[in-house]
Amino acid sequence: MSYTKELNIEAGRAICYSGFREGQRPGDVFPSYDEIKEDLLILHNHWRYLRLYDCDRHAETVLEVIDKENLNFKVMLGAYIVAEVNNYGCPWGGSYSEEQLEKNKVANVSQINKLIRLANKYPNIIFSLSAGNEACVDWTDHYVPVDSVVNYVKMIKKGAKQPVTFCENYLPWLDKLKDLVEEVDFISIHTYPVWEYKNIHEAMEYTRQNYYTVADTYPNKPVVITEAGWTTFSNGRGICPSNVSEEHQRIYYNDLVDWSEEAEVLTFVFEAFDESWKGSEEALEPEKHWGLFKVDRTPKLVMSELYSRETVR
């Protein structure tokens, strides 16, 4: 099933974008208008679609920059919903007081309503909406029951005109999220071979398997990949350091893009820029190093040839 037809969009490359720089983080210090403009000018010649994770000040500024600078981007905008029940199986913390969980439910409704407001404010920029991100998988620290996500999808569809999805690891779509499949306009999956102990030679085949396992289960529902990528460093926790490098990232990225274009699968590469605020304080924490560009905005190996050619021109 062609995403271009079902989502009524043109074919194009897609990338996840979070613009937080050194010393910045969500909920604290946000990138400025000029910093986001600089990022988007780096990206605009090579990617058509951006994915934003939530409706915070960062997302508002991104949409403002695209609008005012007349940049040719279409955006998948997400609502970042937080824990509504405890998930004691999360290894990095998923336990909250009942009082906090009740506050979270109120915050989630507010986030969904803000998503709807932004969707209606920027209908020519925002092409799709997500009701959340990795909130139903077993290991999440912000667990939200499936029936709550279903209700949020219904709220969004009632309040906005754009197609609605939910972004999640590929596996829960096969069983836990079956009721949600009926409600979303398209399915959004995440696939990370390196987190599942696949080496670079196995990686692309594993990504294809992840995609077609879901797509073949729901042949009448479009399936989009909203996260796929390869980190360039690891501290050894969860990912073997010998299995990650800029060369590995280059191989996986090129294979992923080639396959996505050939198979007509809309695939958001994770991630545009390294995110130094993520994960542990360790410098080699893998969560910090998924970007195609470093946190100082210089290109990694996968982008270096492309951007050196632009400099020459």
Give the domain CATH number at 243: 3.20.20.80
Nearest Cα neighbor of 166 from 256, 76, 101 is 76
According to DSSP, the residues that pair with 128 across neighbouring strands are 76
Q: Quick one: the chain helix, strand, coil %, rounded to 5?
A: 40, 15, 45
Q: From the CB of residue 89, how many other CB atoms can be counted at a distance below 10 Å?
A: 10
Contact between 144 and 182 under an 8 Å Cβ cutoff? The reply is no
Taking the C-alpha atoms of residue 46 and residue 62, their distance in angstroms, rounded to an integer, is: 17
Taking the C-alpha atoms of residue 157 and residue 97, their distance in angstroms, rounded to an integer, is: 31
Amino acid at 30: F
Taking the C-alpha atoms of residue 52 and residue 75, their distance in angstroms, rounded to an integer, is: 7
Contact between 271 and 18 under an 8 Å Cβ cutoff? The reply is yes
End-to-end CA distance of the chain: 39
Paired tokens of 100: 């906090």
Position of tokens 């996260």?
227
| Helices 57-68 + 98-121 axis angle, to 10 | 10
Nearest Cα neighbor of 177 from 156, 147, 151 is 147
Which domain, by its residues, includes 159? 3-312
Paired tokens of 67: 């609008």
Residue-wise pLDDT tens for the chain (313 aa)?
Answer: 566 667 778 889 999 999 999 999 999 999 999 999 999 999 999 999 999 999 999 999 999 999 999 999 999 999 999 999 999 989 888 999 999 999 999 999 999 999 999 999 999 999 999 999 999 999 999 999 999 999 999 999 999 999 999 999 999 999 999 999 999 999 999 999 999 999 999 999 999 999 999 999 999 999 999 999 999 999 999 999 999 999 999 999 999 999 999 999 999 999 999 999 999 999 999 999 999 999 999 999 999 987 865 553 4
Count of domains in the chain?
1
